[in-house]
A = this chain, B = another copy of it.
Amino acid sequence: MDTASLHQKIVQKIEASLQNFLGTQHFGTARDLRKMLSYHLGWEDEGRHGKRIRPLLTLLCTGALDGDLNSAMPAAISVELLHNFTLIHDDIEDQSDIRHGRETLWKQWGIAQAINAGDALFSIAQLSMLELAQTCDADIAVRATSILNQVCLHLTRGQYLDIALEANDDTELETYLEMTLGKTAALISFSTALGGVITGQEEPITKQLSDFGRSLGMAFQMQDDYLGIWGDPKITGKSASSDLQTKKKTLPVLYGLTNCQEFNELWKNYHPSSEQIAYMTNVLETCGARSYVSDHVKNYTNHAFDALVSIFGDVKDKNIYVDALLELCEKLLSRKA
């Protein structure tokens, strides 16, 4: 089997397991609560959904360490459910109306029901992780669920900073890194580390897997920030410099605010028009923001691949899961949209 077919096969298994696990939960007369979760997960009303990258990482890391993918499935499902729980609450907190081309949950059902549905999904994510007591053993289930909740706490710290920073123009780059670590990298790092926890690896291997995921997550987010300004509108499907249009405080903007007085002054009274956006994009590039961000993406990408090499030694031809892992990372980090 080639790596592309392997990806596809695993993602189909993930999707079936997600549907199956949600199907076994009891909703009683609160049937609409199940419908809300199905809608958010992309299974209702011609839904679309994310690429299930996090559970894919968990399963590929498990396979790369010669572990059993079926035993790891409850953990993989759990990280995807957890990720989706955070999206439901983030959309309320950020007042986002649209996700994957459809109305967000709170836009459809109101804030009260959406907070509650998020809480339900959080509980279901925990229940899935605890299933590891059946597929592996109770010690592994406790360890994995404990890390899951430490990661959640890390996510809430990241989200706290994000909400607080939106209101503050004096954000430091250091705070951005801490926020990104919490909001994006912590969960991706957990997804990869789980491969080590499930296969019962010694601490150094699990730590290296965690480092790999963290660097991958940081590179992924910064690549997102890069594409939000310098992505090709024909490929991203968004308008040029879309993050400048929405006044999002991404890494290039924070670099500009810190290192370029002209950008800083323009930003203070910034009412985006297409001329203004084009001008600001140029100012950012001139002051070095573009190369700063792309250097950061490169550095984190190199860290991620170095971590893989330090775990698997000569990574080539190790096993098909290692190959698939490498290919997934390359795809994620060279994406243009």
Chain A residues near B (Cβ < 8 Å): 25-30, 32-33, 89, 92-94, 111-113, 115-117, 119-120, 122-124, 126-127, 130, 133, 137-139, 141-142, 145-146, 149-150, 152-153, 155-157, 159-161, 163-164, 175, 178
A93 to B133, CA, bound (A): 34
Q: Write out the residue numbers on chain B whose beta carbons fall within 8 Å of the beta carbon of A120.
A: 152-153, 156-157
CA distance A124 to B154 in the complex (A): 11
Q: Contact check, B113 vs A89: say whether CB atoms are below 8 A apart.
A: no
Q: Contacts of A164 on B, CB cut-off 8 Å?
A: 32, 113
User: Who on chain B is nearest to A155 by CB?
Assistant: B119
Give chain B nearest CB distance to A56 CB in angstroms: 24
Q: List 14 A-B contacts (CB under 8 A).
A: A32-B164, A92-B115, A93-B112, A113-B163, A116-B159, A120-B157, A122-B152, A126-B149, A127-B149, A130-B145, A130-B149, A133-B139, A137-B138, A141-B142
**Given A33-B156, A157-B30, A161-B30: A111 touches B111 (CB 8 Å cut-off):** yes
Q: Is the interface of A mostly helix, strand, loop or mixed?
A: helix
Question: Are A160 and B92 in contact (CB-based, < 8 A)?
Answer: no
A178 touches B117 (CB 8 A): no
Chain B residues positioned under 8 Å from A130 (CB to CB): 142, 145-146, 149
For A94, the chain B residues whose CB sits under 8 A away are 112
Closest to A25 in B: B153
